[in-house]
Chain A
């Protein structure tokens, strides 16, 4: 039996979806993109062009839900399958697009550089419980108009894992798609073996900007998977109740699914999000709040009810330094998300409302993810019955350390964390330097980065990736890219 957690009854799920449909049909959704409004009108939606508003009826929504795939897979740069986004299969990925890096020496936030990004990508390549990388940092040493595509370029060059990413502009989609085509070799191959997932965010309440809605359509046209990141903010730009926020999340996400499926039926999507409650003391959006996590797990139930694979930004912290709050909020989030069966869990490594990445935290979070994955495997009998022979063996030998049963099962039964988790007795811990968690994590980052190798992409692929990126950089006046000096 897979251990699980549930927050919504079937009746409540159905009621929330019904109310969300009612909102989409009667209040509509605001879309600042005339091409998409025209597309919706052509398919039968009522459109008020003066107010950039489209009213989505049940027929449109049902059609979109019929064509959206129930599951899909992701593949690394070599075309090896890494993700099965279906059922309750759980995969972890670092959080996305932090504008700051927590400097390990000063424990303060600073702007990240290309060198930091490469170090990050190399580290992720060695963290076994993170199934994918994400473009988790925004390098500050390149022109802002290439900071999105340049992250993808660096990721593909330095880590084999698939990439959760996204565009900051409409223009950058083209090169970000071409980079993927360079790795896969053809559009057909990229469709058959998706390499990335693009995050596309509606704006609360019930709004799509020109950029994000166009990104949805552009991804759909190339069968690039999209995760919809609806962000209702409970008590501010969403109802204060968790159910009310879920209604809004459902409406916003359904509107994204309609846009993508009308643009290209069958394009893969993740029913995702990054909701939060609004903290009325600090005017912030706490990702570590327990109610934020409850909304995440609950909309995942709605996504599964609609038959779609899911995603959430959960398993991250609002702390500012590498400290106990990080472990607390990340641990609770990751465990809940894993039990809920969220298919793509984005969060590890992140601090400060997802604005700051810590490599040390990423190493610690990798262990949290490992534990959460073990948790989902549950408790199952493994050659345990009949029990008597095992106990006869135990009573005779006084231990089972090297019994066949132990050797066969201990690696799958007991999760052994890496060196960052301290399980030594006090004397051994002292003998090994009495290191704090932060010091151990720092050492692990250094060790793992030093042990990493960039993926052995064929030379012509590397050359083409570099050519594409340099061409893009030249459009914005950059004759050299900082990665060349590394």
Chain B
């Protein structure tokens, strides 16, 4: 479909006004909202992800594309909700208790939103209980935690324990990241995923959502 291909191509270019206009036109043409989402907006974002990974484009380009995607989503969202099409999902995000560093966490938030996720950003210095409560309150299937200090990393394990105690482990998945955090540490404390940078975190969250859906 020409309009969807054009939409995807413009999204890759970060042309938000053009993507907005093409989304409106696709809706007027009577295309199913799910198809506009999958073959237009998400197809464009998938291409952006590939280009970013092989260094053909850079972070600002990804974020411009994300902005363009959101411009299209504004028109599409009410229709998707009305038709009961599930959105990509919601992620609760925060820097763990004792940690006031939030640059990395914010970047993950920006990238997740760009990829079409809803983000509930709890900010920094977030206690374990707050993560769990927010995930329940917002029906978020994923909790993302960030730490920059080795001294605050253990808080991540306390969130995992709390989910287990409350019988939520498995239903609410966890992902962690941050400069001192490693894949090995993630395995040791029993979280579901580890993202080594913001783009990688988005990929991992997608996988978590897929396993959730399955």
Binding site for B on A (CB under 8 A): 398-399, 401-402, 406-407, 410, 416, 419, 425-428, 431
Question: Once the chains bind, are B196 and A428 in contact (CB under 8 Å)?
Answer: yes
Question: Once the chains bind, are B196 and A402 in contact (CB under 8 Å)?
Answer: no
Interface presence of B67 (CB below 8 A): yes
Question: Once the chains bind, are B64 and A427 in contact (CB under 8 Å)?
Answer: no
In the bound complex, what is the Cα–Cα distance between A402 and B67 (angstroms)? 9
Question: Once the chains bind, are B183 and A427 in contact (CB under 8 Å)?
Answer: yes
Query: Which residues, 106 to 123 on B, are CB-close (under 8 Å) to A?
Result: 106-107, 110
Question: Once the chains bind, are A416 and B58 in contact (CB under 8 Å)?
Answer: yes
Per-position binary interface string of chain B over residues 160-196, scored 1 when its CB falls under 8 Å from any chain A CB and 0 otherwise: 0000000000000000000100110000000000101
Given A401-B60, A401-B110: 17 more A-B contacts, CB < 8 Å: A399-B106, A401-B63, A402-B60, A402-B63, A402-B64, A407-B64, A410-B60, A419-B55, A425-B179, A425-B197, A426-B182, A427-B182, A427-B183, A427-B194, A427-B200, A428-B196, A431-B196
Nearest CB on B from A407, distance (A):
6
Q: In the complex, what residues of B have CB within 8 A of residue A399's CB?
A: 106-107, 110
19 A-B residue pairs with CB within 8 Å:
A398-B106, A399-B106, A399-B107, A399-B110, A401-B60, A401-B110, A402-B60, A406-B60, A407-B60, A407-B64, A410-B60, A416-B58, A419-B55, A425-B196, A427-B183, A427-B200, A428-B196, A428-B197, A428-B200
In the bound complex, what is the Cα–Cα distance between A427 and B67 (angstroms)? 28
Nearest CB on B from A267, distance (A):
45
In the bound complex, what is the Cα–Cα distance between A431 and B200 (angstroms)? 11
Q: In the complex, what residues of B have CB within 8 A of residue A406's CB?
A: 60
In the bound complex, what is the Cα–Cα distance between A336 and B183 (angstroms)? 42
In the bound complex, what is the Cα–Cα distance between A428 and B107 (angstroms)? 17
Interface presence of B59 (CB below 8 A): yes
In the bound complex, what is the Cα–Cα distance between A399 and B183 (angstroms)? 28
In the bound complex, what is the Cα–Cα distance between A427 and B63 (angstroms)? 23
In the bound complex, what is the Cα–Cα distance between A427 and B59 (angstroms)? 19
A-B residue pair count with CB separations less than 8 angstroms: 33
Nearest CB on B from A207, distance (A):
52
In the bound complex, what is the Cα–Cα distance between A428 and B182 (angstroms)? 11
Nearest CB on B from A155, distance (A):
30
Nearest CB on A from B54, distance (A):
9
Contact residues on B (Cβ < 8 Å of other chain), bracket: 10 to 19
In the bound complex, what is the Cα–Cα distance between A430 and B41 (angstroms)? 32
In the bound complex, what is the Cα–Cα distance between A270 and B18 (angstroms)? 53
Q: Which residue of A lies closest to B177 (CB)?
A: A427
Q: In the complex, what residues of A have CB within 8 A of residue B64's CB?
A: 402, 407
The 7 A-B pairs at the shortest CB distance, nearest first, are namely A427-B196, A402-B63, A401-B63, A428-B196, A401-B60, A402-B64, A402-B60
In the bound complex, what is the Cα–Cα distance between A402 and B179 (angstroms)? 23
Q: In the complex, what residues of A have CB within 8 A of residue B196's CB?
A: 425-428, 431
Q: In the complex, what residues of B have CB within 8 A of residue A398's CB?
A: 106
In the bound complex, what is the Cα–Cα distance between A426 and B179 (angstroms)? 10
Q: In the complex, what residues of A have CB within 8 A of residue B110's CB?
A: 399, 401
Nearest CB on A from B48, distance (A):
13
Question: Once the chains bind, are A401 and B183 in contact (CB under 8 Å)?
Answer: no
Nearest CB on B from A423, distance (A):
10
Q: In the complex, what residues of A have CB within 8 A of residue B194's CB?
A: 427
In the bound complex, what is the Cα–Cα distance between A401 and B182 (angstroms)? 26
In the bound complex, what is the Cα–Cα distance between A399 and B64 (angstroms)? 13
Nearest CB on A from B104, distance (A):
11
Among B55, B64, B196, find the residue whose CB has the most chain A CB atoms closer than 10 A: B196
In the bound complex, what is the Cα–Cα distance between A398 and B108 (angstroms)? 13
Nearest CB on A from B102, distance (A):
9
Q: In the complex, what residues of A have CB within 8 A of residue B200's CB?
A: 427-428
In the bound complex, what is the Cα–Cα distance between A419 and B67 (angstroms)? 28
In the bound complex, what is the Cα–Cα distance between A246 and B178 (angstroms)? 54
Among B55, B60, B179, B194, find the residue whose CB has the most chain A CB atoms closer than 10 A: B60
Q: Which residue of B lies closest to A418 (CB)?
A: B55
Q: Which residue of B lies closest to A398 (CB)?
A: B106
In the bound complex, what is the Cα–Cα distance between A315 and B194 (angstroms)? 42
Nearest CB on B from A36, distance (A):
54
In the bound complex, what is the Cα–Cα distance between A227 and B130 (angstroms)? 72
Q: A427-B182, A427-B183 are in contact. Are A401 and B197 (CB under 8 A)?
A: no
Question: Once the chains bind, are B59 and A401 in contact (CB under 8 Å)?
Answer: yes
Q: In the complex, what residues of B have CB within 8 A of residue A419's CB?
A: 55
Q: In the complex, what residues of A have CB within 8 A of residue B183's CB?
A: 427
Q: In the complex, what residues of A have CB within 8 A of residue B60's CB?
A: 401-402, 406-407, 410
In the bound complex, what is the Cα–Cα distance between A306 and B201 (angstroms)? 59
In the bound complex, what is the Cα–Cα distance between A428 and B198 (angstroms)? 11
Q: In the complex, what residues of B have CB within 8 A of residue A416's CB?
A: 58
Q: Which residue of A lies closest to B200 (CB)?
A: A428
Q: Which residue of A lies closest to B67 (CB)?
A: A402
